[in-house]
Structure 1
């Protein structure tokens, strides 16, 4: 449905409410009480479902995602019932504009709604209504839209599981109309076209939340979880980090401390470039991620190795070569590998075990 139809539907509802009031200046609490008093005994129940056909993109920096999907709604309204004519089909088909005109002319409920976490414009590729003789109505829409994903939490990156949602809210206040999920309809398609994420765990939920009118409205939530293909991070990030750590450790077998310093300084620059390359995929966060901690820890250890080798070179220049070699051997065997072991162990406990995702 197009935005003008939704706005006109909302204006019709609010105008009907305000006509019985002496002034337009009553506050939202009075308006909500008025809505409750005028609520029908049996609100219209609208069955709704969403099927995602494609995931166009997941933008982690902007914290949104693009999706192509199918929206379906069903409801029963006796005012829509009709007697088919002799040469008429057993159902009537309307365009969104045609159904809007028909409902307004005959004072029939029009199910206007809003994608609450939608960003930018929603493109409706195909849309239409179908009405059966008994008054059962259907709405079908194929759309593409950009949806906000404010629940992204990157603390466990790249072992994080992110939550994706599409929220659809009725424009008419709760008590007048309410959503119920269509059984066995809402799901993800088989060919989503998303290579970075593994998307699973589809779930739906119906609740009452504040609509854009400021009044409580029925909201349908279609959600799914996504976790990353770890092969990429294992080959492109963790394997190079392991190689860097191994190369730094291998320099301890060199007896020339100056060459050690040169190699460690080169590794330090690589860590800096590596950190910039990885940070380009994420927003500027106000917290540290698992991978941030690993990179910073390795950066600090490598910097300490430069300081350590400079100290050994200083001892050698002072003629204390044997003392420098004893310290070097002790560091080679114990301090360096144990330090990395505790860094990884602490990071796993701090970020992967104790951090709960939103």
Structure 2
């Protein structure tokens, strides 16, 4: 009996010692595993000479497809960035002054070279990057360049359509580096430097602006003390070319209204009623014809309200002719003249009010961060070669 108890005690003691040995060895295994995993972690931002100054260069090839419904537009552009990182210069072979990496090789070297993660904060959907390039110099200069195509959102106001102007914006920020670690250089540039460098069929460029500032995100105050991020903002003010609408909509509508007012000078009341009824149906059909030309928006546009005013004017004129017909007494030529003049003036006043209402300044629907310390960035041309976004 005593031997059985001794064997049981020995077995229990052996299992206890083995478990203790495993627990002591476990931290070493965990540390070794963690050390092995750090090999795949991309290199972090430099810890000296903060904040790192990154100079951007945005070369816009094309701006197109401005859509009023979702207040968006498309842009095809090159985005370049350069900064100084002495650690990267050590990766250049002794027999070379620089190395160039392209496309998939850039992703492979991301583990060895620090590349700031830049994002367009007003983008809709993914950013399509067709090509990218990374150049590393022995002295630590790093140049990154990518070509991208993206759909961007920008607050727009189409109330003055088709005589509206819009401000198209491109806003870029670092994704995970606050202003204490990284800032955009005031020497950041926009290419081309001309206002009319982006020809568009329906729009003409009026002015452009480039600013460097700090975006403040209040929601980050609960999770981290860092809530300010450097921001690069480019805006292009464009004006719609209204030629199509003047010829295809305003001119036919003006002819219809002139015909309506001239009916007052037709002597026969029944003929007046017949003609004005026909014109009313004409305006109604004309509205269907131009439906595709008017943006479908939750608010009225200047052109859309002109159609409504024209319809109401002809309807009131129809009532006036009905009153004349039921009174069994035709208006004199002088009375018809004053009535016609009343309708012309009323039509003009109504559209003047329409234009004033469309021209009223309205606060934009801003849901983004608060921007602080705004400075204008450089708009002067540099020594960059034609087609490049980076200085020599």
TM-score clears 0.5: yes
**1:163 lines up with 2:170 in the alignment:** no
Q: What is the CA-CA distance between 1:86 and the residue it aligns to?
A: 5.8
What's the counterpart of residue 258 of structure 2?
A: 246
Structure 2 spans left out of the alignment, 5+ residues: 1-39, 221-226, 365-392
* CA shift digits 1:36-68 (9 cap, x unpaired): xx9866211111121211224122223211111
Instruction: Find the residue that maps to 2:169 and give its secondary structure.
Output: strand
Equivalent positions of 1:76-225 (< 5 A) are 76-82=84-90, 85=93, 87-88=95-96, 90-95=97-102, 97-105=104-112, 108-149=113-154, 151-174=155-178, 175-187=180-192, 192=198, 194-209=200-215, 214=220, 215-225=227-237
- Whether the 8 Å CA contact 2:101–2:134 is kept in 1: the answer is yes
CA distance in 2, matches of 1:71, 1:277: 43
- Whether the 8 Å CA contact 1:61–1:283 is kept in 2: the answer is yes
Could you say what the CA RMSD is over the residues aligned between the two structures, in angstroms?
3.1
Deviates more, 1:290-299 or 1:218-227: 290-299
Corresponding residue to 1:313 among 320, 325, 334:
325
- Whether the 8 Å CA contact 2:190–2:210 is kept in 1: the answer is no
What's the counterpart of residue 52 of structure 2?
A: 44
Corresponding residue to 2:271 among 252, 259, 266:
259
CA distance in 1, matches of 2:211, 2:74: 21
- Whether the 8 Å CA contact 1:49–1:181 is kept in 2: the answer is no
CA distance in 2, matches of 1:44, 1:208: 15
Q: What is the CA-CA distance between 1:161 and the residue it aligns to?
A: 0.7
Corresponding residue to 2:357 among 350, 354, 358:
350
Bigger CA radius of gyration:
2
* CA shift digits 1:205-260 (9 cap, x unpaired): 2222267x955422212210111112222212221221111010111111222222
How many residue pairs get matched?
315
What's the counterpart of residue 19 of structure 1?
A: none
Q: What is the CA-CA distance between 1:325 and the residue it aligns to?
A: 5.8
Q: What is the CA-CA distance between 1:73 and the residue it aligns to?
A: 0.7
- Alpha-carbon spacing, 1:197–1:283, altered in 2? closer, same or farther (3 Å): same
Instruction: Find the residue that maps to 1:156 and give its secondary structure.
Output: coil
CA distance in 1, matches of 2:270, 2:187: 71
- Alpha-carbon spacing, 1:349–1:142, altered in 2? closer, same or farther (3 Å): same
**1:288 lines up with 2:292 in the alignment:** no
